[in-house]
């Protein structure tokens, strides 16, 4: 791979890379606002100016102060180049930290802050704002302009999700480009020139496509804010964990930001993964964190009465014990982790002695060619893998219930395409046990509900539509007495006088791997 | 490491101990008679104790008393709910929920306000960091009051209305620092017209 030198360090690059992109691949950040690795080059912020030493340097005539002569004397200085636009050339020497380059960065930064309202205390971006970062690293001086700043529209409603503040905007056009290039919807544009520049929505339109929150995500300053997150929290109070979006089978990688003092999730941000979601996520995915707190089941439910989780577990063991055998229907969940589904399959075979598997899943949503998959369940593939794809649908379950083949049901999760009235036949079963984190149709028809940890309260694995198994971390703590689904099943087996052969997540994962290997062998032979 | 302490140089009378005890008792008994029998407030005869709580000492000007939320001219809080105070607070006793001024209000877009502002005065250590951190001079500890004692925890949880009902020691609810309101000529955001 060819290399060039950046501040004395060899940087390998792929042909076609720009200087800033090659440096970015190496984890080096050249200060920038308008450049984004997932978007086209605009080169309008001028923050990434660097000095390039070439064979025939481009020099600009200038005047320099000579202290001896007490006068300005003709001199020259290297012409600075925006590193987001300049292609990397093998063997060239680039300086982003030379005095000329740093001087340019400081002055560009000062220009960008010229009309900025500096209302950081009431700005949601404060704490993760590039203007703040680069003021610290590149400028560090007070404002020299003492005249009235230019005023622009503030708190403009761009659409159902986004609010715009023109005075904070630095006109980097990232939001315009994300709409144009990622979404393919030219709904944002720029109007006026110079310091009257502002971002506007197309006449007669609202910013209302499926990826509006990406405009806020790419905004390097506080100009675009999400109406969902607006004023909810200061970002320095939040901590973050790596997670995987539960919105659909694409399995976009994300960060979940939560407040550890409140044990509450506040937002989701996309996590770069070139194989899956690149840099982006859709609005529904960004909002999917609401499931963590909405309709949360924190207590057990036995015959309509709220009980402690441990009591619900005992009741569930008693109910299942009565009908244990091959006529128990086992409902896996496409919303739960592979670990939970695999544990349930093992529980069914080893404790209940049943092979009647069904899969509960949400009924799908509108897909597109960008990220959204038609299957709005994160782990259909993982759930099916736990039973070698031998699972019927909930419609099949209802048929088997009416024919009397199924006498009792143990179900995982809250999600189902059918609503509670469609599933009401399950109410009359001898045992209807649901293990769930949130309330839904399956908990509504259940006679016994055992609360389990949600996807944010435990670690696990989702297998996306491409068959990629992706790990997600625990974000917040589960409510008191509530355990992950797989551990609840281990306890349930214990309460029924049997043992599931894994006590730790690593044991469970080991047996999943063994099972997967055996299945592969079977398929080959 | 051991620390060396030199023995005090005592005179024979001091070393005998008893005379010194008698001297100390003399002072105590003298004070007792002075406080009991002298008339209060007579010139040259001031006693060293006061009849608290009927009588109170004046606290120094910069005494950090219980918090108050300062008002604007129209009686609304100066606070913009930026959470700088609760960020600075080492005792984590300040809870704020921010809200936005409604569409049409002159402050809409420029400012936000505290929907909920609660200080747990039991947790508070009266360090004054919140006052230092406030960019709006919205929280002050110049009430000149210390926290009145109570046996109920709930009495120590001060909400927004309570904090706004506490005046400064001089009785005012505002502060001497000027405020540039959106809408008045001194506010940097006065010209909100956008010229095309």
H-helix or E-strand spanning residue A243: strand A239-244
Tell me how far the alpha carbon of residue B159 is from its chain's centroid: 16
Angle at A25 between CA A19 and CA A26, to 5 degrees: 95
Degrees, nearest 5: CA angle A253-A441-A437 = 45
pLDDT tier, B90 (very low <50, low <70, confident <90, very high otherwise): very high
Interchain contact, B191 vs A151, CB within 8 Å = yes
pLDDT digits (tens, 9 = 90+) for A159-193: 999 999 999 999 999 999 999 999 999 999 999 88
* Rounded alpha-carbon distances, angstroms, from residue A458 to A406, A448, A453, A469, A502: 31, 22, 6, 16, 17
Domain annotation for chain A: domains and CATH numbers: 3-112 (3.10.20.740), 156-292 (3.30.70.20), 300-524 (3.40.50.740)
Which of 203-262 (A) contact B at CB < 8 A?
Answer: 230-231, 234, 236-237, 261
Identify whether the C-beta of residue A416 lies closer than 8 Å to the C-beta of residue A396: no
Cβ pairs A/B, distance under 8 A: 48
Q: Which residues from B are below 8 Å from A224, CB to CB?
A: none
From the list A119, A122, A152, the residue facing B194 with the nearest CB is A152
- With beta carbons less than 8 A apart as the criterion, state whether A86 and A19 touch: yes
The yes-or-no verdict on residue B191 having pLDDT over 60 is no
Strands (E), B126-187: 139-140, 157-158
- Nearest-CA neighbor of A416 among A395, A447, A399, A385? A395
Q: Which residue has the tokens 């300053």?
A: A221
Chain A (418-457) residues lying within 8 Å, Cβ to Cβ, of chain B:
none
Contacts of B102 in chain A (CB under 8 A): none
Measured in angstroms, the CA of A150 and the nearest CA of chain B are apart by 9
Given this model, what pLDDT does residue A22 score? 96
Per residue in A394-435, pLDDT tens? 999 999 999 999 999 999 999 999 999 999 999 999 999 999
Residue of A235, A231, A230 lying closest to A257 (CA atoms)? A235
Neighbours of B99 (CB within 10 A): 13
Q: What is the pLDDT of residue A503?
A: 75
Rounded to whole angstroms, the Cα distance separating B183 from A446 reads 59
Q: Are strands A71-78 and A59-66 parallel, antiparallel or unpaired?
A: antiparallel
The answer to whether A466 contacts chain B (CB < 8 Å) is: no
- Whole-number Å distance between alpha carbons of A303 and A295: 19
Q: What is the pLDDT of residue B148?
A: 87
Is the Cβ pair A154, B80 closer than 8 Å?
no
- For A37, the enclosing helix (H) or strand (E) is none
d(CA B130, CA A118): 21
Q: Check CB contact of A305 with chain B, cutoff 8 Å.
A: no
The residue ranges of chain A whose pLDDT is under 70 are: 514-525
Q: Is A149 on the interface with B (CB under 8 A)?
A: yes
Q: Which residues of A touch B112 (CB under 8 A)?
A: 122, 231
Instruction: Tell me if B194 and A148 make a contact (CB, 8 A cut-off).
Output: no
Q: Residue B42 — pLDDT band, cuts 50, 70, 90?
A: low
| Bridge partners of residue A452, in order along the sequence | A483
Q: Judging by beta carbons within 10 Å of its beta carbon (0-12, 13-18, 19+), is residue B1 exposed, middle or buried?
A: exposed
Q: Which residues of A438-458 are buried (b: 16+ CB within 10 A; e: fewer)?
A: bbbbbbbbbbbbbbbbbbbbb
Contact by Cβ (8 Å): A300, A450 = yes
- In chain A, positions 345-364, which contact chain B (CB-CB < 8 Å)? none
Q: Do A154 and B109 touch (CB under 8 A)?
A: yes
Whether residue B196 has pLDDT greater than 90: no
pLDDT at B190: 44
**d(Cα A198, Cα A189) in Å, to the nearest integer?**
8
Nearest CB to A231 within list B87, B98, B109: B98
> Is B135 in Cβ contact with A121 (below 8 Å)?
yes
Contact B82 A122 (CB under 8 A): yes
Nearest to A84 by CA among A134, A131, A31, A120: A31
Q: Which residues of B touch A154 (CB under 8 A)?
A: 108-110, 189, 192
B-chain CB neighbours of A192 within 8 Å are: 196
C-alpha–C-alpha distance, residues B189 and B81, integer Å: 19
H or E stretch at A455: none
What's the pLDDT score for residue B194? 40
**Eight-class DSSP state of A87:** B
- Provide the CA A121 distance to its chain's centre, in angstroms: 26
Give me B10's structure tokens.
């005592």
- Whether residue B48 is predicted with pLDDT greater than 80 in this model: the reply is no
| Residues in B touching A119 (Cβ below 8 Å) | 110
Residue A226 belongs to what H/E stretch? strand A224-226
DSSP assignment of B63-119 equals: ---S-EEPB-TTSSB------HHHHH-TT--EEEEEEEPPTTSTTBTTBEEEEEEEE
Crossing angle for the helix pair A485-495 and A309-323, nearest 10 degrees?
60
pLDDT tens-digit readout, B124-179:
999 999 999 999 999 999 999 988 889 999 999 999 999 999 999 999 999 988 88
pLDDT value of residue A515:
65
pTM: 0.87
Sequence-ordered list of residues with C-beta below 8 angstroms from that of A389, at least 6 positions apart, any chain: none
Burial class (CB in 10 A: 0-12, 13-18, 19+), A476: buried
DSSP 3-state of A264: strand
Beta strands across the sheet bearing A93-95? A9-12, A3-6, A93-95, A49-53, A80-82
| pLDDT at position B49 | 73
Nearest CB among A122, A149, A151 relative to B80 is that of A122
């Amino acid at each position: 791979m060819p290399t060039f030198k950046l501040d004395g360090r060899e940087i390998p690059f792929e042909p076609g890379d720009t200087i800033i992109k090659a440096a970015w691949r190496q984890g080096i950040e050249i200060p920038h606002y308008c450049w984004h690795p997932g978007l086209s080059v605009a080169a309008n912020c001028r923050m990434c100016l660097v000095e390039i030493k070439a064979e025939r340097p481009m020099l600009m005539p200038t005047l320099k102060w000579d202290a001896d002569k007490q006068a300005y004397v003709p001199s020259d200085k290297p012409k600075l180049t925006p590193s987001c636009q300049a292609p990397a050339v093998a063997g060239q020497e680039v300086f982003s930290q030379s005095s000329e380059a740093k001087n340019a960065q400081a002055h560009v930064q000062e220009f960008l802050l010229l009309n900025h309202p500096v209302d950081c205390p009431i700005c949601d971006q404060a704490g993760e704002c590039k203007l703040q970062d680069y003021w610290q690293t590149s400028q560090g001086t007070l404002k020299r302009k003492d005249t009235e700043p230019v005023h622009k529209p503030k708190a403009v409603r761009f659409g159902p999700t986004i609010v715009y503040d023109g005075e904070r905007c630095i006109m980097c056009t990232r939001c315009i480009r994300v709409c144009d290039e990622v979404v393919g919807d030219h709904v944002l544009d720029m109007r006026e020139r110079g310091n009257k520049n502002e971002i506007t929505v197309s006449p007669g339109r609202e910013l209302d496509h499926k990826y509006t929150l990406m405009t806020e995500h790419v905004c390097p300053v506080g100009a675009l804010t999400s109406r969902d997150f607006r004023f909810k929290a200061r970002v320095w109070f939040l901590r973050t964990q790596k997670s995987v979006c539960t919105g659909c089978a694409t399995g976009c990688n994300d960060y979940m930001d939560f407040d550890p003092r409140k044990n509450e999730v506040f937002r989701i941000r996309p996590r770069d993964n070139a194989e899956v979601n690149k840099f982006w996520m859709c609005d529904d995915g960004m909002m999917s964190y609401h499931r963590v707190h909405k309709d949360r089941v924190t207590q057990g439910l036995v015959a309509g009465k709220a009980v402690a989780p441990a009591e619900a577990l005992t009741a569930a063991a008693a109910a299942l014990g009565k009908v244990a055998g091959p006529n128990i229907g086992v409902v896996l969940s496409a919303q739960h982790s592979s670990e939970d589904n695999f544990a349930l399959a093992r529980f069914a075979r080893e404790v209940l002695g049943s092979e009647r598997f069904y899969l509960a899943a949400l009924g799908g949503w509108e897909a597109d060619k960008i990220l959204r998959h038609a299957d709005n369940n994160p782990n259909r593939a993982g759930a099916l893998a736990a039973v070698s794809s031998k699972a019927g649908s909930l419609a099949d379950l209802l048929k088997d219930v009416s024919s009397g083949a199924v006498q009792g049901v143990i179900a995982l999760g809250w999600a189902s395409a059918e609503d509670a009235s469609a599933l009401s036949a399950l109410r009359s079963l001898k045992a209807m046990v649901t293990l769930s984190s949130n309330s839904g149709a399956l908990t509504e028809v259940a006679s016994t509900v055992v609360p389990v940890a949600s996807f944010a309260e435990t670690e696990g694995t989702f297998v996306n539509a491409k068959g990629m198994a992706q790990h997600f971390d625990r974000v917040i703590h589960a409510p008191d007495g509530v355990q992950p689904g797989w551990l609840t099943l281990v306890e349930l087996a214990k309460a029924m006088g049997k043992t599931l052969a894994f006590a730790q997540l690593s044991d469970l994962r080991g047996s999943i791997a063994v099972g997967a290997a055996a299945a592969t062998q079977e398929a080959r032979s | 490491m051991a620390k060396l302490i030199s023995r005090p140089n005592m005179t024979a009378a001091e070393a005998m101990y008893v005379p010194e005890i008698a001297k100390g008792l003399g002072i105590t008994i003298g004070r007792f008679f002075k406080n009991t029998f002298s008339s209060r407030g007579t010139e040259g005869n001031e006693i060293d104790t006061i009849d608290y709580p009927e009588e109170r000492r004046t606290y120094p000007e910069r005494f950090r008393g219980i918090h108050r939320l300062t008002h604007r001219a129209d009686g609304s809080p100066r606070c913009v709910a930026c959470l700088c105070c609760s960020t600075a607070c080492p005792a984590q006793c300040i809870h704020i929920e921010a809200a936005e001024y409604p569409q049409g209000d002159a402050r809409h877009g420029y400012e936000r306000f505290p929907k909920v502002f609660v200080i747990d005065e039991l947790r508070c250590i009266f360090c004054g960091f919140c006052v230092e951190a406030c960019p709006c001079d919205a929280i002050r500890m110049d009430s000149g009051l210390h926290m009145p004692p109570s046996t109920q925890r709930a009495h120590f949880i001060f909400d927004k209305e309570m904090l706004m009902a506490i005046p400064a020691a001089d009785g005012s609810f505002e502060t001497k620092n000027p405020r540039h309101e959106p809408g008045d000529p001194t506010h940097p955001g006065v010209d909100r017209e956008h010229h095309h």
